[in-house]
Amino acid sequence: MSTYAIGDIQGCFESLQCLLEKIAFNPQQDRLWLVGDLINRGPDSLATLRFLYSLRDSVEFVLGNHDLHFLAVAHGLRKQGQSDTFNSLIAAPDKQQLIDWLIQGKLLHTDVQLGFTMVHAGIPPQWGLHEAQAHAREVEAALQSRYSRDLLGNMYGNFPNGWKNKLVGIERLRLITNYFTRMRFCTAEGDLELNAKDNVSSAPLGYAPWFSHAERKTRNDNIIFGHWAALEGRALHDNAPMANIYALDTGCVWGGSLTAMRLEDKQLFSCSCAGHV
């Protein structure tokens, strides 16, 4: 039995099939961890989501910003953008079944026995793992409640951009969601800068990659994440790889590759992608 963590798929169904063939994935024995952004921008979000749903007993996944965006669009709370590729999903006869499964996704998944934690974008430096788990549960509970439309309709926006325990309501949930699904650069206190999207050398003045802060409370935890294609699978600080940090978004949808890491020995596998955007 092996556990494979896979980077952002984004509807690149053929690349996913290539990667699963390369690792000889056996759903009766193996497990898949998916770092989010399962769909959107790639050529076949519907086939991807249907296939993952068929493997659901062997899959752990966290929600990415594109997955949340689809949920908002599917609930009529947001219009599709020009680069969105949701049409086949929206028109699918089994759409509701897929939505009901997707909305059960986590924002953070951890396995004590394996010694790994998975998020889509990251964990802000001011939170330890137990704090991060508790805050992730807040958003997950809201998504899975009768108030899910309120959250999906109001999760967009860059503010508030700094954490305070006294935050309440939609502002609190929006910031937690932004940490887990959109964060790249922040201050040591967790103040977010959400406009910069390039590699680590493009950090705005006063900000740094979330994983590079010296006093980050999760610095001793093994963290798997995606979201940041510009890293090209390398979480670097001062040109050296960061210990315990595993960046798995290798830009499949942009013509890069789709990458898997076997958690038991940290071996990497990849399939080249043709690029779809």
Per residue in 209-237, pLDDT (tens digit) is: 999 999 999 999 999 999 999 999 999 88
Residue 274 — very low, low, confident or very high, per pLDDT cuts 50/70/90? confident
Residue 83 to residue 80: CA distance in whole angstroms: 8
Least confident of 86-90, 174-178, 199-203, 262-266: 199-203
pLDDT at 44 over 80: yes
Residue 238 has pLDDT above 90, yes or no: no
Check residue 55 and give its pLDDT: 98
Backbone angles phi, psi at 223, to 5 degrees: -125, 130
pLDDT tens track for 55-71: 999 999 999 999 999 99
> What pLDDT is attached to residue 22?
97
What would the DSSP string read from start to end of 65-90?
A: HHHHHHHHHHTTSSPPPTT---HHHH
Nearest to 275 by CA among 14, 5, 1, 2: 14
* CA pseudo-torsion sign 69, 73, 78, 80: positive
- 129 secondary structure, DSSP code: H
Check residue 18 and give left, alpha or beta (phi > 0: left; psi -120 to 50: alpha): alpha
Per-residue pLDDT for 185 more than 70?
yes
Residue range 100-109: average pLDDT?
Answer: 98
- How does pLDDT run across 145-175, given as a tens digit for each residue? 999 999 999 999 999 999 999 999 999 999 9
pLDDT at 135 over 70: yes
Mean pLDDT of 132-150: 97
The burial class, CB within 10 Å (0-12 / 13-18 / 19+), for 3 is middle
> CB-based burial of residue 160 (10 Å sphere; 0-12 exposed, 13-18 middle, 19+ buried)?
middle
State the DSSP string of 148-181: HHHHHHH--SS-S-S--TT--HHHHHHHHHHHHH
Instruction: Kindly indicate the confidence band of residue 276, based on its pLDDT and cuts at 50, 70 and 90.
Output: low
- Residue 232 in contact with residue 239, Cβ under 8 Å? no
| Average pLDDT of every residue of the chain | 97
Q: Which residues pair with 225 in a beta bridge?
A: 247
Residue 277 has pLDDT above 60, yes or no: no
b/e per residue 84-116 (b: at least 16 CB within 10 A): bbbeebeebeebeebbeebbebbbbbbeeeeeb
Over 80: is that where the pLDDT of 241 sits? yes
pLDDT tops 80 at residue 275: no
Residues 6+ apart with CB under 8 A from 234: 241, 247
Q: What is the mean pLDDT of residues 5-30?
A: 98
Cβ count within 10 A of residue 229: 21
Q: What string of DSSP letters covers 92-123?
A: -TTHHHHHHHHTT-BSEEEETTTTEEEESS--
Percent over 70 (pLDDT), the chain: 99
Task: Tell me the chain's radius of gyration from C-alpha atoms.
Answer: 17
Name the residue with tokens 């963590």. Answer: 5
Give the separation between CA 158 and CA 176, rounded to whole angstroms: 11
Choices 3.90.1300.10, 3.60.21.10, 3.40.50.740, 3.30.710.10: CATH for 15-272 = 3.60.21.10
pLDDT of residue 146: 95
Backbone angles phi, psi at 38, to 5 degrees: -65, -30
